[in-house]
Amino acid sequence: MYKSKLIHILKTFTPQEIRSLGFFIDSPSANVRSEVLNLWLYLRLQYPHFKEDELDRYKIFAVIWGSQTTFSMPKLRHLNSELVQWIEEFMIHNQLKNDPERRFMLLLDAYKEKDLHKYFEQTLKKENVLATAAEKYDMGNYRFRYVLQEKITDYEMERFNNMNFDYIKQILAYLDVFYIAQKLKFACETVNYQNVFKTTYEPLFWDDILAYMQKNVDNSSPLLQAYFIIWNTLTEAENEEHFQQLLTFLDTYSQRFSAQTLSEFYTYARNYCIKKINNGEQKYIANLFKLYQKGLETNTLMYKQRLSEWDYKNIVTIGMRLNEDIFVEKFIHQYKHFLMEESRDNAYTYNLAYFYFYQKQYDKTIALLQDVHFSDIYYHLETKTLLLKTYYELNESISLFALADTLKVYLFRTAKIPDYQKQIRNRFISFITKMMRIKLGGKNNASQLLQQLNKNKKVSDFTWLNDKINALMKKH
């Protein structure tokens, strides 16, 4: 029972969902068998921990049928499946309850099937659902309008044997926007995929769609405009006008898209900045920070009220680079509880260590880094990199050189680390060890080192390295 589908599903339920499920199963209209109800009542007592010893199959069987009844695994398995079916019915019910557009469509279908024409037409006139659909430019709303117009056309044809050509034009208009938007959306995702995995693929009719958008972009739906601008930022990244155009678009239309769609657009904008920064264009750090702040303000950084640990880290990192110390300290503590539970302690500990590093509280940095668990290769890399920088600041040369050698071996042996990451981190190790040797009075020249850094800016922690080499030039 402990590893069953039933328990896996119930573990994902919130306390509110568990209460609602209880009302659903216990309602007279459900007419749930007494054995199924008893199994549910027992499992509800085990929520949320679901301890393995309490889910022993023999124990549960005895609770349901009594200790005198001979144990039967098929009987228990059938009961388990029956409860799963009721829970799935509840999940479907919940999905419909939270989707007024789908409920609206199903109600139209029901009235049409029963030839209740009066109520079909009354339902169509309900402005609240139609108005809600018209408020946003989201993909789903174009699909909704297309399907709705198709239903109206079918209804008119079946009842009055009348084909209104204006209806056909509306159906095609909504379908065109939905189809082209889907093509643009997944083409943008394809570019991202191709950049990472070095594959090639061109969607069907792609040249025609691009030609259409180039000719009609100004008169197109804002949804099409958004994806076309994003496409241009991905394929013509060197043209900064596309990025500025995207920022202007988001400011203009942010109220006309759902949080989910807006989140997707802002993610592309942030990724553009991140790629520019990784290529050494440090002016994009301020742009990225503003986009993250906008994401916090609009709640578009959140997914199901959870903040990604990597967004959490990026906000701290760029905030400290921009000397936003007060904002960052407040953010670290305030948003800790929005992180996923399994990564919360690691993310909080590492980012607090990072904050203390930039506060020059190096002893606190080292102490906190000892509590970071290497559950992810990037935590391993980031923790060791921060530790290298701390040793540099403390003039701990022996510890720095030893750690640098260990990290180079780790980068060489770990196949999961992308080649680009290996390159920029190996270059960082090379620079920081040369910088330490200059500190120790070695023959390396700080001026030449700065020239090397600026010649190829594809190195992790470019800004920090640049600042520290400039500081060395003043002293040596």
CA distance 100 to 270: 32
CB 204 within 8 A of CB 196: no
Query: Cα-flanking dihedrals φ and ψ of residue 420, to 5°?
Result: -60, -45
Q: Does 429 have pLDDT greater than 90?
A: yes
Domain membership flag for residue 369: no
CA distance 301 to 308: 8
Lowest mean pLDDT among 128-132, 263-267, 359-363, 381-385: 128-132
Global pTM reads 0.78
Beta bridge partners of 306: 303
Domain membership flag for residue 20: yes
CA-angle at 132, arms to 129 and 136, nearest 5°:
145
Q: Which two tokens stand for residue 335?
A: 């948003």
| Neighbouring residues of 110: CB distance < 8 A, sequence distance ≥ 6 | none
CA distance 179 to 171: 12
> Read out DSSP for 411-424?
HHH-TTS-HHHHHH
Q: Do residue 425 and residue 460 come from a single domain?
A: yes
Domain membership flag for residue 250: no
Lowest mean pLDDT among 71-85, 268-282, 386-400: 268-282
> Helix, strand, or coil here: 91?
helix
Last residue of some domain: 152, 178, 204? 178
Last residue of some domain: 178, 203, 231? 178
Q: Which two tokens stand for residue 64?
A: 């349901």
Domain extent for 413: 374-476
Q: pLDDT tens, 127-140?
A: 556 555 556 789 98
Query: Cα-flanking dihedrals φ and ψ of residue 303, to 5°?
Result: -130, 115
Domain membership flag for residue 235: no
Lowest mean pLDDT among 96-100, 191-195, 342-346, 471-475: 191-195
Beta bridge partners of 303: 306
CA distance 137 to 224: 9
Q: Where would I find the H helices in 279-308? A: 284-298
CA-angle at 269, arms to 267 and 270, nearest 5°:
65
Element (H, E) at 302: strand 302-303
Q: Do residue 105 and residue 76 come from a single domain?
A: no
Q: pLDDT tens, 15-47?
A: 999 999 999 999 988 889 999 999 999 999 999
Q: Do residue 426 and residue 467 come from a single domain?
A: yes
Q: pLDDT tens, 430-447?
A: 999 999 999 998 777 899
Which pLDDT score is estimated for 129?
60
Q: Do residue 72 and residue 166 come from a single domain?
A: no
Which pLDDT score is estimated for 36?
96
Instruction: Average the pLDDT over 98-114 and give the result.
Output: 92
CB 225 within 8 A of CB 232: no
Domain membership flag for residue 27: yes
- Cα–chain-centroid distance for residue 149? 33
Confidence label for 188 from pLDDT (cuts 50, 70 and 90): very high
Instruction: Average the pLDDT over 217-232 and give the result.
Output: 95
Q: Do residue 20 and residue 79 come from a single domain?
A: yes
- Cα–chain-centroid distance for residue 279? 23
Q: Do residue 381 and residue 476 come from a single domain?
A: yes
Number of domains in the chain: 3
Q: Does 392 have pLDDT greater than 80?
A: yes
In single-letter form, the type of residue at position 202 comes to E
Domain membership flag for residue 166: yes
Q: Do residue 411 and residue 458 come from a single domain?
A: yes
Domain membership flag for residue 281: no
Which pLDDT score is estimated for 124?
87
Q: Does 197 have pLDDT greater than 70?
A: no
Q: Do residue 444 and residue 463 come from a single domain?
A: yes
Confidence label for 198 from pLDDT (cuts 50, 70 and 90): low
> Helix, strand, or coil here: 307?
strand
Domain membership flag for residue 308: no
Last residue of some domain: 156, 178, 200? 178
- Nearest CA-CA partner of 82 in 142, 22, 39: 39
Q: pLDDT tens, 294-308?
A: 999 988 999 888 999
CB 60 within 8 A of CB 45: no
